[in-house]
């Protein structure tokens, strides 16, 4: 359920008047915490309620970016009982977009259900590459030509929005599972110029772009997405709200707190 989260948070550059202009995106180090709750369910989902938290931390380490994404959700089931599902996902990506390291662990009521670790490298810009897993067992996976890692995808997505683009499709590998890269189709809405009267943080005092991302497994012929996400992005990379849509239910995240992180000295 973590897939897509760390690919979605982006930074966007605007003028003082709030109009988009073309240029390289500037990703702002920050830490955000969200309250997560059940938004919708479909018949047969088996889920009666869900609540928890998600934290997202993005840091600039001079030669790359480090992302720490932690999610803890308690699910209550229609047939009775409940379970705590938790995910820890930590990644590093080089600033040239060619090298990537990842570690993801899922637990259910404290018991490990999935443990994935590895690294991936691309041969060059626009070229393919290889992902090598060390957990749960050694495995090598070919990455197709044009594959992007998550932060590089975010940068290109933002640049596309700044130039007035309304849709953006790319193949992305994030290492959150053994099923390989995803085709990510993003729809970009018109930038909102409405500003909150009293933002809870100065980081929220800017216009934002609404976006919707759909994730299709490259390895599967399915015509419907495996996962979808809707977000409202601020120019500094903070997502004010998040909706994660799975096949039988969806979760909504409300931003509880956000703080800027200092850039590390290089």
Mean pLDDT of 231-253: 86
Whole-number pLDDT of residue 194: 66
**pTM, two decimal places:** 0.86
3-state secondary structure of 6: helix
pLDDT above 60 for 208: yes
Whole-number pLDDT of residue 197: 58
What digits encode the pLDDT tens for the residues 148-159?
999 899 888 878
Closest CA to 97 of 166, 147, 51, 160: 147
How many angstroms separate the CA atoms of 122 and 131, rounded? 9
Closest CA to 184 of 194, 195, 176: 176
- Average per-residue pLDDT for the chain: 85
Cβ atoms of 240 and 14 closer than 8 Å: no
Closest CA to 104 of 153, 69, 73, 80: 69
Cβ atoms of 231 and 242 closer than 8 Å: yes
Q: Provide the total of helices (H) and of strands (E) in the chain, helices listed first.
A: 2, 14
At residue 190, φ and ψ (nearest 5 deg) are: -70, 135
pLDDT above 90 for 219: no
Mean pLDDT of 93-106: 97
Whole-number pLDDT of residue 24: 54
Residue 199 CB: number of other CB atoms within 10 A?
A: 14
Angle at 159 between CA 156 and CA 160, to 5 degrees: 85
Write the DSSP symbol of residue 204.
Answer: G
Helix, strand, coil tally for the chain in percent (to 5): 10, 55, 40
How many angstroms separate the CA atoms of 240 and 234, rounded? 7
Residue 105 CB: number of other CB atoms within 10 A?
A: 16
pLDDT above 50 for 18: no
pLDDT above 60 for 169: yes
Mean pLDDT of 167-195: 89
What digits encode the pLDDT tens for the residues 127-144?
999 999 999 999 999 999
3-state secondary structure of 7: helix
123 confidence band (pLDDT: 50, 70, 90): very high
- DSSP per residue over 24-87, as a string? ---PPPEEEEEEEEEEEE-TT--EEEEEEEEEEEEEE-SSEEEEEEEEEEEEEETTS-EEEEEE
What would the two tokens of residue 90 be? Answer: 């930590």
How many angstroms separate the CA atoms of 177 and 55, rounded? 20
Mean pLDDT of 165-194: 90
Residues 6+ away with beta carbon under 8 Å from 144: 128, 171, 181, 218
């Amino acid at each position: 359920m973590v897939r897509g989260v760390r690919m979605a948070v982006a930074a966007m550059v605007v003028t003082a008047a709030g109009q988009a202009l073309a240029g390289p995106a500037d990703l702002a180090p920050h830490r955000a915490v969200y309250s997560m709750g059940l938004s919708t369910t479909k018949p047969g989902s088996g889920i009666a309620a869900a609540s928890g938290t998600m934290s997202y931390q993005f840091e600039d380490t001079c030669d790359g970016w480090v992302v720490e994404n932690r999610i803890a959700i308690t699910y209550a089931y229609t047939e009775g009982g409940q379970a705590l599902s938790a995910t820890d996902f930590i990644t590093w990506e080089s600033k040239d977009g060619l090298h990537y390291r990842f570690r993801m662990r899922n637990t259910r009521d404290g018991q490990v259900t999935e443990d994935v670790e590895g690294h991936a490298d691309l041969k060059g810009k626009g070229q393919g590459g290889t992902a090598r897993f060390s957990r749960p067992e050694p495995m090598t996976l070919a990455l197709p030509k044009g594959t992007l890692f998550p932060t590089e995808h975010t940068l290109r997505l933002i640049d596309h929005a700044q130039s007035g683009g309304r849709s953006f499709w790319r193949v992305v590998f994030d290492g959150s599972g053994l099923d390989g890269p995803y085709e990510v189709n993003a729809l970009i809405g018109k930038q909102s110029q409405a500003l909150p009267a009293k933002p809870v943080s100065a980081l929220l005092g800017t216009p934002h772009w609404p976006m919707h991302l759909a994730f299709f497994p490259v390895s599967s012929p399915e015509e419907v997405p495996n996962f979808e996400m809707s977000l409202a992005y601020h120019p500094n990379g903070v997502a004010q709200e998040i909706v994660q849509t799975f096949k039988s239910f969806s979760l909504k995240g409300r931003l509880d707190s956000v703080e800027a992180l200092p850039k590390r000295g290089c």
